Each structure stands twice: as C-alpha cells, then as structure tokens.
C-alpha cells in the first residue's frame, strides 16, 4: 500500500466528515465525544449502584434506616438524566442520517459510507440505552418493593437464627440483583472425583434412641383440640402456636389457611420452640407463606432436630422426626424402619397425620412388612377424624 493511497484515503474520510459537519455545524464534531462521555457516566452510575448494595450487605442496618433506599433514589435520578442524554444523542444521529439521505451532490457510494459511519456511532448508544433501561427497572423494583422485602427477611432471620445468618440472607438476595453488573467469576479448575472406595463418609447424627410414651414435663401425649390449641397460642404458648400452625397448614381440625399457618409458625419459632422451628422450615421449604428457600429450610430442620428428639411422648414431635427420618433430613441418614415405628407410635396416640403416614408405610411396605389390610385400617382412622389429605383417598 503506497503513501499516496493512504493520503488519498485520509483526505476522502476527512471530506466525508466535513460533509457531516456541514449538515449540522453547531454539533458536528461532538457526537463521538458525547458517546464516550455517556459511557463514562454510565460506568460511574453502575459502580455507585454496586457500591450501594455492597454497603447494604456489609451493614444491613442501612436497610432499616432507609439509607439504602435514599441512595437508590439518588442513583435513579442520575440515571434518568443520563437516559435523556442518550436519547438526545440518538435523535441527533438519526437527524444526520436523514440529512445525508437528502443531500444532493453526493454519490450513492458516499451516502452509503456516511450512513454506515453514523450507524457505527449509534450501536454503542443502543447498548448504553439497554443497560440503562435494565438498571432503571432494577432500581425502581428495589425502591418500591425489594428493599422492604429483603429488610423483612433480615429481621426475621435475625430474630430466629441470629445476625450472621440474617446477614448471609441479605448477601444472597443482593448478589442476585448485582449478578448482571459483576464481572463473571472464573470457572474453577475441575478436580478428579474420588473413587467410591476413597469417598469419605460424611459425619451423621445417630438415629434417635427408642422412645417410650411417657410424657415429660411441658409436653403432652394427647392431641389438642383446635380450640384449646388456639386459646393457648393466643396466650403466647410457643408449643400451642406450633400446633395451630400444623392445623392451619394441613386443614386438620379447622379450615386450611396458609397465611395463618405461616404467622403461627413464625411466632413459635421466634421463641425457639423446636416444633415451631420445624414448622417454619417446612413452610419455607414449600414456599407456603414465605419465599421458597431450600438452604434455609435445611438449616432450620437441623436446628430443630435435637429439640424434637427430646420431646419424647409428644405425637407432633414424633411425627416430625418420622418425616425427617423417612426423607433423610435434619442431619440424619434416611431410615424408613425407624420412621415407620415413629409413625405408628404417634398414630396410636390418635394423631391423624401420623395414622395416614403409617397407613402409607403399610400399604407400600416402606419400613414395615407390606400389609394392605392393616394400612386401610389406619387410613380409615385418619378419615374418621376428618383429616383432609386422607379424605382425598388412600395413599398412592
């Protein structure tokens, strides 16, 4: 390539840009600089946004004081001003395109080249607009609802599980919001999986010892009526609050009401009653009345296990332990035999959910020898008490 060719090419480009300048002389040479300024300002806004949410992670009290919301509102105002600049610059380029198309004295090749140059300047603006719109939507969502929701989660977990776990919940929620604005994490280097012979066995809690039906102080071996449980619950009895939560959750002895079940579970769990903590875990696990969170549910069940294990003779606790053993939850290894034994123990105390669960074990031979006739007898016991799940039909 000769120097003469290069000089000719440079002269031609300069001439074409001079034509653009002649079309809109007052702002002819500002577009590229404006686009670069928009990029710098957008990057600064994103940095401020990330810093604000990271500050809420390190100091969740900013959520309660309202400082996080105020910061987000200020960032939103800056972003809306920047969006106006983006739109003005895009309108300017569109006007230039129209003027190039209408310009006389230019060949079609020159017009095409000018148009391509202008379109290349529009592309980054389109990307900036998309990012700004996404960030604006996220900011509005934070201001109107998400900050309040995350603060509520923080308060609940702080009261039940302590400040560290509550802070971890805030971090998890905030990181979900921040994910699109963070650089991608490097993929970890894969490590070879150990062979089955060398895989270490994780530590596991011992299967609970055999239980008797004696009633320790503070528990009951009878099934509470809904009226009695509700009266005691309203007097701040944590045990009764957990029982009322069970009744509302499964429609046993009263109509099903998920919101009331969630409220009574939370009230009981805040008093650290193991049955209340287990009820809260079950509802969080299923997303009933709370945001679904399997990790939190797992932690809560592990926290509840020892307390439930000490409530010997209590049908509600025994059934909860049976469920955890049947599924292998709460830090214990799956044990269908022990689960079926616990179901029968609570079933023979007259607890309908345990009667239904034990009937399923008998009908399908889970943890006990298969015995369909006996399974049907226990299923009918649950039906006679009006247990809604049993009334839908035999276990299938």
Is the same domain home to 140 and 268?
Answer: no
Q: Which pLDDT does position 15 carry in this prediction?
A: 47
Contact 196, 322 (CB under 8 A): no
Query: Do the domain assignments include residue 311?
Result: yes
Residue 326's pLDDT is 94
What range defines the domain where residue 91 resides?
23-181
φ/ψ region of 113 (left if φ > 0, alpha if ψ in -120 to 50, else beta) reads alpha
Whether residue 167 sits in one domain with residue 29: yes
In a domain, 200, yes or no: no
pLDDT (0 to 100) of residue 247: 92
Q: Which residues does the chain have with pLDDT short of 50?
A: 9, 15-29, 198-204, 206-220
Give the pTM: 0.51
* C-alpha to C-alpha distance for 132 and 78, rounded to whole angstroms: 11
Q: Tell me which residue of 39, 50, 56 sits closest to 180, measured CA to CA.
A: 50
pLDDT on residue 190: 63
Instruction: Give the pLDDT score at 381.
Output: 94
Domain count across the chain: 2
**Domain check: are 175 and 301 in the same one?**
no
Do 161 and 106 lie in one domain? The reply is yes
Q: Is residue 36 part of a domain?
A: yes
The answer to whether 322 and 339 are in contact (CB under 8 A) is: yes
């Amino acid at each position: 390539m000769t120097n003469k060719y290069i000089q000719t090419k440079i002269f031609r480009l300069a001439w074409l840009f001079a034509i653009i300048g002649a079309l809109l002389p007052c702002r002819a040479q500002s577009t590229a600089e404006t686009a670069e300024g928009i990029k710098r300002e957008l990057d600064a806004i994103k940095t401020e946004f990330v810093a604000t949410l990271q500050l809420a992670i390190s100091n969740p009290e900013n959520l309660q004081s309202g400082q996080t919301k105020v910061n987000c509102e200020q960032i939103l105002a800056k972003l809306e001003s920047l969006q106006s600049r983006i739109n003005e610059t895009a309108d300017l380029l569109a006007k230039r395109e129209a003027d190039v198309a209408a310009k006389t004295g230019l060949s079609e090749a020159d017009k095409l080249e000018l148009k391509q140059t202008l379109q290349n300047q529009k592309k980054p603006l389109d990307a900036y607009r998309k990012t700004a719109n996404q960030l604006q939507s996220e900011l509005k969502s934070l201001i109107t609802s998400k900050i309040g929701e995350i603060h509520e989660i923080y308060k609940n977990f702080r009261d039940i599980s302590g400040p560290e776990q509550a802070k971890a919940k805030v971090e998890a929620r905030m990181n979900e919001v921040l994910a699109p604005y963070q650089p991608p994490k490097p993929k970890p280097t894969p490590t070879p999986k150990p062979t089955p012979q060398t895989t270490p066995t994780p530590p596991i809690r011992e299967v609970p010892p055999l239980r008797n039906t004696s009633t320790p102080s503070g528990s009951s071996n009878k099934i509470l009526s809904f009226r009695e449980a509700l009266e005691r619950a309203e007097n701040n009895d944590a045990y009764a609050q957990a029982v009322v939560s069970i009744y509302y959750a499964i429609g046993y002895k009263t109509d099903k009401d998920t919101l009331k079940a969630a409220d009574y579970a939370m009230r009981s769990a805040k008093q650290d009653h193991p049955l209340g903590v287990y009820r809260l875990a079950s509802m969080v696990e299923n997303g009933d009345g709370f945001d679904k969170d399997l990790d939190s549910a797992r932690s809560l069940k592990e926290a509840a296990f020892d307390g439930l294990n000490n409530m010997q003779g209590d049908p509600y606790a025994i059934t909860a332990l049976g469920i955890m053993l049947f599924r292998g939850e709460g830090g214990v290894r799956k044990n269908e035999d022990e689960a079926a034994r616990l179901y029968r123990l609570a079933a023979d105390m007259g607890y309908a959910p345990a009667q239904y669960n034990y009937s399923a074990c008998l009908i399908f031979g889970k943890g006990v020898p298969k015995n369909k006739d006996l399974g049907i007898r226990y299923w009918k016991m649950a039906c006679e008490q009006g247990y809604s799940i049993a009334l839908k039909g035999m276990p299938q």
